[in-house]
Amino acid sequence: MSAKADCVVLFGATGDLAYKKLYPALHALQERGKLDIPIIGIAREGWSLKKLQDRIRASLTDAGVPDDDEAAKALLKCVRYVHGDYNDPMSFTHLAEAMHDRKLPVFYLAIPPGLFGEVVAALSHHDLTQNARVVVEKPLGRDLQSAQELNRGLATELREEQIFRIDHFLGYEQVQNILVARFGNSMLEPIWNRRYVRRVHIEMSESFGIEGRGAFYETVGCLRDVVQNHLLQLVCMLAMEPPVSMDAQCISDEKVKVLRSIKPLLPENLVRGQFEGYRGEPGVDPGSDVETYCALRFEIDTWRWAGVPFTIRAGKALGRTVTEAVVEYVLPPRQLFQEAHGMIEPNRMRFRMKPDDLIQLSMQVKQPGDQVLTETVDLSVQYGKQLGEAGPAAYERLMGDAIIGEHRLFARGDLVEDAWRVVQPLLDDPPPVEPYFQGSMGPAGAARVLPPNLMEMLSEPQVATTR
């Protein structure tokens, strides 16, 4: 499927996701000349077209788009509105009429996952899915069983190549750059394995809390919210073998192999934390055992990675906001420089997504002077400084890919199920949450699974000039 779609139908057109992410993404595509197709909004509320257009204007204003922006004007002219109850067959009759015989629609389901099945079934009943692309948002299940049920429901009406399971994390420029760094640079491949890599750590710490979303967060927790999807996808990209090609199926094949090679996770592999004050948040159970923090340790039982520890730390209300992956290499076999004070630092390669897009290699050099003293320097590439452009935002990229039928940044059904299979033992038998103070880096018990030198691995990078 590579032809450009001829319309976008947005279910949940009046919701928060559409307001915060999808309308700015559609505007950006329009601005770059990659849209120019009808946008049909459908939602339960009995709105008018004008009210929907006003909401889109407000969304774009909040995103910093000027009132006189030409792309915004063009986007608003493309908008249509269909009022509908998803349980009412007439809603889909009206939708078919509004589509005016469009042959290659994108149906974006920005609605609760519990509605996916009935909406897709109704679209199929009205002969609207034969050539359609259907975008579904996470959460893609709450556990392995529900993910399997969701996939079976979608497969009843759709072919796998019609389904676009969105994970906005895969749209980040730096996440994609991991594959380019690994497979586009011959100097990395010979040392990207257990003989030279000491450990791999993935960090997704956030200094903010749940921001009034207590009722929602009570239904997910950190493990479901970011580890099962975003961070295991990142593990796959760091650990996968070279794909036969950059075709979506080839990439997914290699990711699936990684997930199926992760040794069974036991409760002692996981530390769950909850920040002090969480239970007092609106919508949170006063006796809640939901985790706002996870520290996780595991191994990938393949020829390349056997014996290398992989660790993940993710959480809210921590001491800083940073999302990055750090690959730490083994130390030299002996301390050659006797005048150095203490052990030299190992080489590290860092891929940082937040607060900025950064690739960094830490290495040892000699300090100026008579003595042979070593010092760590960082060779860095920052997208904004070295390359001049940050690239499209995640939702812009993913929406654009769905419109042209590009699957590479979307999750295949078996990949989603295998990610749930990895964490399912931890969902079945979770250890109790351990408290931690807001502004700290999590509970003290996390030291049981995290690297002993984690503070050194995650020290604030210095930005060096790179030519």
Q: Are residues 243 and 335 in the same domain?
A: yes
Two structure tokens written together for 114: 């519990």
Asked whether residue 467 carries a pLDDT value surpassing 70, the answer given is no
Residue 259 burial by Cβ neighbours in a 10 Å radius (0-12, 13-18, 19+): buried
Q: Are residues 271 and 359 in the same domain?
A: yes
Average pLDDT of the residues in 183-189: 92
Do the domain assignments include residue 462? no
Give the helix ranges, DSSP H, for 83-204. 89-99, 116-125, 144-157, 173-183
CATH number at residue 427: 3.30.360.10
126 is catalytic: no
Two structure tokens written together for 282: 């609106």
The one catalytic residue in 27, 168, 201, 230 is 230
Q: Are residues 308 and 222 in the same domain?
A: yes
User: pLDDT at position 46, please?
Assistant: 76
CATH number at residue 50: 3.40.50.720
Please state which of the ranges 84-88, 123-127, 201-205, 207-211 shows the lowest mean pLDDT: 84-88
Do the domain assignments include residue 63? yes
Residue 230 domain boundaries:
170-457
Q: What is the pLDDT of residues 85-109, one digit of tens each?
A: 888 889 999 999 999 888 999 999 9
Q: Are residues 263 and 326 in the same domain?
A: yes
Close Cβ partners of 66 (under 8 Å, ≥ 6 residues apart): 72
What is d(CA 179, CA 158) in angstroms, rounded to the nearest whole number?
Answer: 30
Do the domain assignments include residue 154? no
Q: Are residues 119 and 18 in the same domain?
A: yes
> What distance lies between CA 212 and its chain's CA centroid?
22
Two structure tokens written together for 95: 């939708």
User: pLDDT at position 386, please?
Assistant: 67
Asked whether residue 175 carries a pLDDT value surpassing 90, the answer given is no
Q: What is the pLDDT of residues 246-263, one digit of tens each?
A: 999 999 999 999 999 998
What is d(CA 246, CA 160) in angstroms, rounded to the nearest whole number?
Answer: 18
Report pTM: 0.91
Do the domain assignments include residue 150? no
Of all residues in the chain, what percent carry a pLDDT higher than 70? 95
Q: Are residues 84 and 186 in the same domain?
A: no
User: pLDDT at position 460, please?
Assistant: 62
Q: Are residues 116 and 183 in the same domain?
A: no
Do the domain assignments include residue 193? yes
Q: Are residues 253 and 399 in the same domain?
A: yes
Q: What is the pLDDT of residues 114-171, one digit of tens each?
A: 899 999 999 999 999 999 999 998 889 999 999 999 999 999 999 999 999 998 888 8
Q: Are residues 64 and 131 in the same domain?
A: yes
User: pLDDT at position 390, please?
Assistant: 62
What's the whole-number average pLDDT of the chain? 91
Asked whether residue 464 carries a pLDDT value surpassing 60, the answer given is no
Two structure tokens written together for 2: 């590579």
What pLDDT band is residue 300 in, cutting at 50, 70 and 90?
very high
Please state which of the ranges 43-47, 291-295, 381-385, 441-445 shows the lowest mean pLDDT: 381-385
Domain count, the chain: 2
Do the domain assignments include residue 50? yes
Q: What is the largest CA-CA distance in the chain?
A: 85
Q: Are residues 67 and 192 in the same domain?
A: no
Pair 212, 394: CB distance under 8 Å: no
Asked whether residue 45 carries a pLDDT value surpassing 90, the answer given is no
